[in-house]
Amino acid sequence: MPCYQLDDQLWFPSVDSAEDYGLLAVGGDLTPERLLFAYSLGIFPWYNEDEPILWWSPDPRCVIFPKKFHVSRSLRKTMRKGKLHLTLNQAFDRVMQGCRVQRKDNEGTWITREMLSAYHNLHLHGFAHSLECWEGDDLVGGLYGLCLGRCFFGESMFSLRSDASKIALAALARTLGSAGFELIDCQQTTDHLLSLGACEISRDEFVKRLAVGGVGPEYRLRSEFPQQLVGWVE
């Protein structure tokens, strides 16, 4: 399969043109218009600091269906202790930086300075969101991603305390499940995500489920992200 070179025009090749491991196109930019268009098609950017922008649409795709999120016994125990508390969209840039630092220290990061700026702009436009996990006044974990229609496209999460990011993800799943969301996109499959209830679906099914969730180029771009978190009651 060819890898397409993008230009200044706002377009993407069909996701069916992606290479076996998901690479679809190279180049373009990270303007809000292009990013929103990409996500509406099931495409996302992922590249290192010294690379051109790379666009991906993997097959299979790792997703979490919100009502099927698995909360382990140990995670429930951590939640009940009440030492950590959550907020919504209160420290978006700090969450991105936390994800960037943790990834950079461990295995390198795709959260480049250009990505930081691009998703900050999407946050200002009401499409990118964060959940923050706090221990007192200290930010100890969180996650961020992008929302279109009733689908959430997870980008990254970090944790400085045991289970902090899991608690944020559990709260996200509970909140989105209550709001009738179709899925949480996890992009890449990991054993960690599978242990939390994630599963793999084909690219074709992923695109179909985006449409069910009100996402696609034929829809007016909008976000139905809830305005407040649903509390955890067990």
Phi, psi values for residue 9, rounded to 5°: -75, 145
In a domain, 223, yes or no: no
C-alpha pair distances (Å), 19 with each of 54, 56, 60, 206: 12, 9, 12, 17
Domain harbouring 19, CATH code: 3.30.70.3550
Q: pLDDT tens across 24-73, in order? A: 999 999 999 999 999 999 999 999 888 999 999 999 999 999 999 998 88
Domain harbouring 197, CATH code: 3.40.630.70
Total domain count, the chain: 2
Same domain, 88 and 54: no
User: 126 is in which domain, residue-wise?
Assistant: 62-212
Q: pLDDT tens across 135-186, in order? A: 999 999 999 999 999 999 999 999 999 999 999 999 999 999 999 999 999 9
Residue-averaged pLDDT of the chain: 92
In a domain, 30, yes or no: yes
Residue 221 DSSP label: P
C-alpha pair distances (Å), 29 with each of 32, 77, 96, 110, 122: 9, 44, 19, 15, 14
Task: State the CB neighbour count (10 A cutoff) for residue 139.
Answer: 19
Q: Which of 58, 82, 97 is where one domain is finished? A: 58
